[in-house]
Amino acid sequence: MTESAHSIDVTQQNFQRIVIDGSGERPVLVDFWASWCQPCQMLMPILAKLAQAYAGKFLLAKVNTDQEQHLAAQYGIRSLPTVVLFKNGKPVDQFMGVQPESSIRALLDKHLPRPSDAARQQAQQALQQGNADAAVLLLQQALEADPDNQTLKIDLAQALLALRHFDEAEHALNTLPMDLHQQEPVKRLQAHLRLARVAPADAAQAQALQQRLQSEPNDPQVLQQLGAYYTLHEDYAQALALFLQLMRSHRRYADDAGHKGLLAIFEILGARHPLVNEYRRKMVSLLY
């Protein structure tokens, strides 16, 4: 293996100095590999390219597990390649197998300081305070200075969604690399966006729909819109009940909107949530 200014081979003898102590000064990305491992050979050029591109913001440390079996055992390495990011002497993130460059960049960017960090923090504070317009402006300015920061695009989509600028929010998400669309924060945001498009814009409209539901308890449009509204306001039990009723009564309405609404909430809550377990069983019983 060859070394460069931004990557180095690591052994049991120098691991403490380079990885543990060195990660107090800058993050160290440790690549556990072996010469017989074909995926390792595929990943190495990607990591080397990133080490050069980031120009010293992190150090790439390479551990040959055939020669350093004790290190591999110490860190519980069970498959190759495994890549572990160390900060301040401790492992803080990792991935296994060959990953696309954009996914590795996203992992690094979570832990590396960027010029846009201050603007992003200000935008998050503005959004929490209900000032989505200010958040959008800050994020757009930050993206001009840091256009490769995918996290900024996700934050921008969130702020645009709060303003009900649905097409712009969707465009921001569509500019993300395809592999990021499979990450949970993006999938949840996409689910929120789909529901926000049909939800009433405010509490007054929602109240009017609730009154309609009293007299028309099976109106599919009301069921869909109120289900979306309750989801966005985190009343998931009520929302799931409405979407299940819509699925039971009007399977063909709006391209099976009840079924899609249930799936969107499952995406938001995650597979282990007890409401998901309960309503997935009920949904399956309607499907089969």
Neighbours of 141 (CB within 10 A): 14
* Helix ranges restricted to H, the chain: 15, 38-53, 69-74, 101-111, 117-128, 132-145, 150-162, 166-174, 184-196, 203-215, 220-232, 236-249, 257-269, 274-287
Q: Which of 6, 9, 20, 37 is catalytic?
A: 37
Separation CA 22–CA 20 (nearest Å): 6
For strands 90-96 and 28-33, give the pairing: unpaired
Q: Which of 8, 40, 135, 189 is catalytic?
A: 40
Instruction: Give the sheet arrangement for strand 28-33, strand by strand.
Output: 7-9, 59-64, 28-33, 82-87, 90-96
151 catalytic? Reply is no
Q: At what angle do helices 203-215 and 220-232 cross, to 10 degrees?
A: 140
37 catalytic? Reply is yes
Here the tokens at position 68 are 């350093």
Separation CA 72–CA 82 (nearest Å): 10
Q: Which sequence positions are flagged as catalytic?
A: 37, 40
